[in-house]
Each structure stands twice: as C-alpha cells, then as structure tokens.
Structure 1
C-alpha cells in the first residue's frame, strides 16, 4: 500500500493502526498453516485466494468489502481459478508481513509498493503519485510544484514522515504546515486524508498534500469542488511517484508468474476499477490516465 522508502509508502496507503490484533476469517489458522500445495510445492492454496489486509483502511481495504483492493481480490480469484476469497485481517503496523504472509496465513497482499524487500513484488498494476489538493476557488490555481511562491505562508496539511515533507521543508513550507500523525487507529478515528479534507472544507487549512489514491477517494466525498494536482514536476527531494504491486512470498515464483499473467491480461479492467475510486493513475510518461 508509500513513504521515504517503499515500506513507508505502505504506511500511507494502509493507514497504520495502534493495536496489533489478528481477526482471521476462513480458512482458520490451522488450515492457513497447512494450505494445499500449489505448483512446484509452493504453499499457495489452489482453491482459495487467501488475502492479508488491513480491516479498516478505505479506499484500499475494509471488512465491509468496499475497498478497491477487496474488489480486485475477487477479480484475481476468478482470474486464477480460485473458488472463493478469504481474509486474514491485521492492522498495517510493524510486523504486518511477518504475522500474515510470512506466517503462511495468506498468500497475497493486494497493494504493496515496488521495491520493498519484505515481499516479492509482482509486476506493477498501477502507478500513482502524491497530489496537492486545494479548493477550486483557491488563489492557488496554477500551482504545479511545492516550490511555487504562491504556497508561501499557506497552511498546508501533510502527514508526518511522508515524502512531501522533505520537499516542503526545502521550500520552507513546514513552518506554517499543519502536520497530521502517521500512526492512528483507523477503526476509531477518521483517516488522516479524510480529516484533512474536512479541515480544508472548514477553512482551517488552505491545501493538503496526500497520497493520490486517498486524495481522490476522499476529495470526491467532501461535497465541494476540489482540485487535485499530481506532483509530477518536483525537482529534487523525495520521489512522489510509486509503482504499486501485489506482494507474495519470495519462495512463490510460480504464483508470482500467475499473478503477472493476470495483471497483463486484465489491465484495462484494473484501470477501470481504480478510476471508479478516483485513483490518479499515471502512465509511464507520467501523464494522467483518464476514464
């Protein structure tokens, strides 16, 4: 799910929760530990798509099944011949991979930033970017980089430790910024993206810099016209664009190849699903992919 390194961007994608509890649905723990052998003896269940996910992290995953990764999981199950989907729910805190994928409780993490060594990445199924968000009637119209002088003195919301903080610091914007915590219990409090949108609508911040998939989803739910500017023109600082993959165990080479084939054969359907949720998708030339 995108911070200074791939593991940190996952913290932005999968809003971190403060409590580490596992709620596993079928298959139960015993079945999960003894899943049927897949190709070449891999510990991948051939009949059930066993997913590890955060139970309360819209728009990515949720116990309600309303996240786009939940919808994608159903597509993957159908496309790889699985009869059903089951979940091991675990908040995306330190130990997420160790206690889920690494413990053979599941066989896939639906969204993982490319380059994180804790998992084996499939091919990327989308590229997205951090975005600057501001109200449509804002004097910030025309801003395309965080170095724009128009942002000087503005109250900009940003999540602590995310890549934009480095670029904002270089532009001397952090002194006026409103910094939101990275670690929250999203089962008991709104996500930081949702809270930033509320604050912007109320006028307590002038703009926000948010991971694109979260920004697109929550901006559409404010009831106000919001402008989303992909930060594709940043010079120096931290990178803003990330490839998102599916994560599997390093040993599951055949499973990875199966998923790569699924992604290749279903890319238009995947794009359509992501666009429904307002995800700002980028092609390889950093241009927006439109509906």
Structure 2
C-alpha cells in the first residue's frame, strides 16, 4: 500500500518542475479573457497548458496600445491567443476560427441585409469601433470614411472605459439603448454580448468582406507564439489539430464557428 501511494505521489509531482506556460492576457476583456478565467482565450490556454503538461501562468496587461511590445515582445510571456493569422510580429499557429466584423441592429427595427454599400447607412445613426485619431483605425471605420459616411457616425473606442467591466461592449450596449441604430462591431465581441442583451439584437457579417482591396472585414484567428520558440509553435499546432473537436465545442459556446 505504501508503495502504491509513493507511485501516485511521484506521478503527481512529476510536473512540478515543468516550466510554466506564460500567457499574455487582458484581465478585463470578455469574451476573450478576464482575471476570473471566464473568457474563450482563458479556456483555450488552459487546454493548451494541460496538453503540454505545464502549469499555466498569466502575464496580465490591458490590451491596448503597447500590449504586444510590453508582453510577448519583451519575452515576458510565451503565447498570445486570439491574434490574426500571419501577424508579422509573432509566429502564428494554424487558425482555430474565422471571424468578421458584423452589423449589430435591434431585431424590432428590421434592418437585416445591410452592406457597406447600402444607401440606408447614410440615414441611420451608426456606431463604429475606433483605435485612435492617427489613422490606425478599424477596417469598418476606414470603409465608412471612404464612402463619405461620417456625419451620422459615432465612434466607440476599441479599448473603452477600463474602469468598467468589459469596456469594449459599450458599442453593443449603445444599440440596445437606441443611442445608435446599427453598430459595426468585431464579431466575437458582438456575438457574446448580443446573446446576453435584454433587447433582442441581430448580427450579420459586414460585406463585402474586402473593401477597396485593402480593408478586410474577416480574419483567421490563431495563437501567437514567440518567434524564438519554434518547438512550442509545433507543439501547439499539434494540440489544435488533435483537439479540433473539443476546441470547436468551446468556440460554439461563445457564438463562434471553428475553422
């Protein structure tokens, strides 16, 4: 019996010396991550760490300008889930889902079928996510500006008011509150908060998906990995392939479709 207990203890302790998997994450950014571990990227990171046999450790940083530079760029974390595939600053895994910007409207208003070239956009109160005032803005913001649709557009900072929970959700809340008629919102954010809205909301992909041959509205999403750790990139790609069905089930819980 003593030998059996010793064997069990050896198994349990075998991973104690494993190097932690350090994950870059925002502590207040549902549906992606939060400090309570409720986000999609929290749960994906847990799965990856478990499959690697490494303890999970977070490097918390508000996901706003300077996030990458101050986290994975400095080597303080190993992975950054939820980045666009092919992002130049990091190595990226195979995509695990694809998402697009969407129109968010109130179902009662019957505004289905909106596109970037829909004449209704010139008369509706629109909301669009903004990054800043230096030209580095979201694709829908550029698309509306290119069409001269600016006077009826209200901007909602992508980072939001960090003093409140889930700050980027403000644009979805604005649709529900009738402050705007339609919001052009990053799809995963819209899906999560529209599903929880007391006011029934509709979400539809923004089309065309590529505007003016330079502003994509849809992106493949991957895990970002430090470029100096190719072995980790290979290992996570294997996990995403092996656990494809489990990851797909996780994505559906957040209103997303797997790649």
CA RMSD of aligned residues (A): 2.0
Secondary structure of 1:228's match? Answer: strand
Which residue in 2 is equivalent to 1:41? Answer: none
Alignment CA distance shift 1:271-1:261 (3 Å): same
Secondary structure of 1:86's match? Answer: strand
With normalisation by structure 1, the TM-score equals 0.75
Give yes or no for the alignment of 1:257 onto 2:228.
no
CA contact (8 A) 1:159 1:192 kept: no
Which residue in 2 is equivalent to 1:58? Answer: 30
Give yes or no for the alignment of 1:79 onto 2:47.
no
Q: What is the number of equivalent residue pairs in this alignment?
A: 235
Deviations 1:11-31 (Å, cap 9, x if unpaired)?
xxxxxxxxxxxxxxxxxxxxx
Alignment CA distance shift 1:100-1:125 (3 Å): same
Cα displacement (A) at 1:223: 1.4
Q: Distance in 2 between matches of 1:167 and 1:128?
A: 18
Which residue in 2 is equivalent to 1:274? Answer: 251
Secondary structure of 1:127's match? Answer: strand
Alignment CA distance shift 1:248-1:46 (3 Å): farther
5+ residue gaps, structure 1, are: 1-44, 284-291
- Which one of the candidate residues 95, 103, 109 is aligned to 1:132? 103
Give yes or no for the alignment of 1:248 onto 2:225.
yes
Q: Distance in 1 between matches of 2:71 and 2:147?
A: 40
Give yes or no for the alignment of 1:159 onto 2:125.
no
Cα displacement (A) at 1:60: 0.6
Cα displacement (A) at 1:255: 0.8
Cα displacement (A) at 1:92: 2.1
Secondary structure of 2:220's match? Answer: strand
5+ residue gaps, structure 2, are: 1-16, 131-136
With normalisation by structure 2, the TM-score equals 0.83
Deviations 1:191-247 (Å, cap 9, x if unpaired)?
454222222122121010100000001111111221110124346331101111111
CA contact (8 A) 1:112 1:247 kept: yes
